[in-house]
């Protein structure tokens, strides 16, 4: 059997990072990708806006690739947002008012300059942010591949089921479902496009039609998803909820796109796509348990991760592996296993990130209390800590982002509002504060003429003593 290279290898960019970094910054500074303003918390029919927060790139050197223990940090987040913007340039989106508004915004978004810059930086960003997905060992044995898929389905079901339980216990069912819909439903069309492009390019021609990868429209059903999304006010299109996408949600779409653009990765795409399908089945478990909050009867019975669904996807994979072995031999199985391994490594991150984000969103008051405890410890032990002070004017908007460390946000004067979910508002007045753990997606804006606030960075060892804040991770 041939020795397979890494799917993503950042070492090939050695010595080229400074030049590529300049191009990454140049792309983010293009007009359609400028930072958001307050009015763009949700993009209202603005089909050609993708706010990237270009100022974040001043802190990212792109010298060392992302690792499994650093994916929560700003470099991975910024890379995935920019990658998604680059990939978006290959899908036509048509505004409903182009007859009156013309093609100005359309042409600016799909400009030659954007396309050329995007093509230049895309492989660099993929290798930078996805290289660690190749660190996971894999076996080309069909039994091991099938067991890997089976394990993934079970883990996904337990994770989503645990999240549903946590959301009910915290009284966060509707808001939790809304956030999950944004991650899954809003990004689903792009994932389907990747598989459709691959199919049209002959990637799956060797497979029986019934075994080709797809995101089933039946579980959960597209029509029911649309109905629930409308009921909870999260049914806009064209990435209106751009600010609420987690880095790992974007990464799942970007990974499929990266594999679907390269014929030499066609078999890897099959393995990765079946893992993505397992994730979709897992979401149906969460959706089924919580959709009753929107008046849909017996959703749990309809959308639980049923034995029939488990058996069906396993049987399909068995047939896929048999066809691959007959057509390509052991070398073909190895490529399917390589793609599946990379997708499983990413899925581990997806589950951790989503669980911790929902735990933080559903316990904002607890994190305000923890902020007080941390602040008291700072005054006792480190009164001279670097507080990184900011002074911002009214309506100053901080496009959603993450930090690469644990921070407090302490308001000294003025009024600030925080958000991390659609419709979420945590207001802070002078003397009030909140604890933002590493990697938690959030944004803020100023509601007074001016606001002065501080962001002391909290050591990791301090956080380890705050057992309460980490407790929600049991839902993983």
244 assigned to some structural domain = yes
Assigned domain for 4 exists: no
Same domain (yes/no): 248, 337: yes
pLDDT of residue 371: 93
Residues in the chain: 476
Mean pLDDT of 248-265: 97
Residues 342 and 404 occupy one common structural domain = no
Tell me: the pLDDT tens digits for 115-136? 999 999 999 999 999 999 999 8
Supply the range of the domain harboring residue 418. Answer: 365-475
How many structural domains are present in the chain? 3
8 Å CB contact between 199 and 390: no
Peptide bond into 220 cis (omega under 30): yes
Query: pLDDT tier at 307 (50, 70, 90 boundaries)?
Result: low
Closest CA to 153 of 315, 274, 301, 290: 274
CA 377/CA 428 separation, integer angstroms: 20
Q: What average pLDDT does this structure show over 95-109?
A: 90
pLDDT of 305 strictly over 70: no
404/356 same-domain check: no
pLDDT tens digits for range 174-194: 899 999 999 999 999 999 999
pLDDT confidence of residue 302? 52
Kindly state whether residues 269 and 397 are assigned to the same domain: no
Q: Mean pLDDT across the stretch 68-91?
A: 96
Q: Are residues 323 and 413 in the same domain?
A: no
Percent of the chain residues past pLDDT 70, beyond the cut: 93
Using the predicted structure, report yes or no on whether residue 72 has a pLDDT greater than 80.
yes
Residue 476 confidence class, pLDDT cut points 50, 70, 90: very low
State residue 144's pLDDT score: 97
pLDDT band at 202 (very low <50, low <70, confident <90, very high): very high
Residues 204 and 309 in one domain: yes
The pLDDT of residue 132 is: 97
Same domain for 465 and 381: yes
- The model's pTM: 0.94
Residue 126 sits in the same domain as residue 145: no
Do residues 412 and 292 share a domain? no
Tell me, what's the pLDDT at 471? 44
Task: Report, as an integer, the average pLDDT of 86-99.
Answer: 91
- Mean pLDDT over all residues of the chain? 90
Same structural domain, 346 and 391: no
Q: Is there a contact between 190 and 289 (Cβ–Cβ < 8 Å)?
A: no
User: Which distant-in-sequence residues (6+ apart) come within 8 Å of 72 by Cβ?
Assistant: 247, 353, 402, 404, 438, 439
Q: Do residues 41 and 95 share a domain?
A: yes
Given 96, 116, 132, the domain boundary residue is 132
More confident residue, 299 or 154: 154
User: Which segment of 285-289, 340-344, 387-391, 456-460 scores lowest on mean pLDDT?
Assistant: 285-289
Contact criterion met (CB below 8 Å) for 421 and 361: yes
């Amino acid at each position: 059997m041939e020795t397979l290279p890494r799917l993503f290898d950042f070492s090939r960019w050695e010595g080229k990072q400074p030049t590529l970094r300049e191009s990454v910054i140049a792309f983010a500074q293009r007009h359609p990708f400028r930072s958001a303003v307050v009015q763009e918390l949700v993009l209202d029919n603005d089909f050609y806006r993708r706010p990237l927060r270009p100022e974040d790139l001043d802190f990212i050197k792109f010298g060392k690739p992302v690792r499994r223990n650093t994916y929560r940090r700003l470099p991975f987040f910024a890379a995935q947002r920019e990658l998604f913007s680059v990939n978006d340039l290959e899908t036509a989106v048509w505004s409903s008012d182009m007859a009156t508004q013309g093609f100005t915004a359309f042409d600016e978004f799909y400009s030659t300059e954007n396309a050329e810059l995007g093509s230049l930086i895309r492989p660099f960003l993929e290798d930078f942010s996805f290289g660690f997905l190749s660190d996971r060992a894999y076996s080309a044995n069909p039994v091991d591949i099938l067991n890997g898929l089976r394990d993934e389905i079970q883990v996904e079901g337990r994770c989503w089921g645990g999240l549903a339980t946590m959301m009910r216990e915290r009284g966060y069912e509707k808001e939790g479902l809304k956030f999950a819909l944004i991650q899954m439903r809003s990004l689903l069309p792009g994932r389907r496009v990747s598989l459709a492009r691959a199919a049209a390019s002959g990637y799956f021609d060797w497979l029986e039609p019934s075994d080709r990868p797809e995101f089933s429209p039946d579980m959960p059903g597209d029509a029911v998803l649309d109905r629930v999304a409308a009921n909870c006010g999260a049914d806009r299109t064209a990435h209106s909820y751009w600010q609420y996408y987690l880095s790992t949600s974007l990464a799942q779409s970007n990974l499929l796109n990266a594999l679907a653009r390269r014929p030499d990765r066609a078999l890897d795409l099959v393995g990765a796509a079946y893992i993505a399908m397992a994730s979709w089945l897992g979401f149906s478990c969460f959706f089924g348990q919580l959709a009753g909050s929107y008046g849909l009867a017996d959703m749990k019975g309809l959308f639980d991760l049923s034995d029939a669904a488990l058996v069906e996807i396993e049987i399909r994979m068995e047939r896929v592996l048999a066809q691959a072995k007959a057509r390509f031999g052991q070398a073909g199985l190895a490529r399917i296993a390589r793609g599946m391994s990379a997708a499983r490594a990413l899925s581990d991150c997806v589950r951790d990130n989503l669980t911790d984000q929902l735990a933080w969103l559903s316990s904002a008051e607890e994190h305000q209390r923890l902020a007080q405890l941390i602040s008291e410890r700072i005054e006792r032990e480190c009164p001279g800590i670097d507080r990184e002070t900011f002074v911002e004017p009214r309506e100053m908007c901080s496009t959603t982002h993450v930090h690469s460390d644990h921070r407090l946000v302490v308001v000294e004067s003025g009024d600030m509002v925080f958000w991390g979910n659609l419709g979420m508002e945590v207001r802070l007045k002078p003397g009030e504060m909140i604890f933002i753990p590493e990697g938690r997606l959030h944004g803020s804006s100023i509601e007074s003429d001016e606001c002065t606030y501080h962001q002391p960075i909290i050591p990791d060892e301090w956080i380890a003593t705050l057992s309460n804040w980490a407790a929600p991770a049991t839902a993983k």
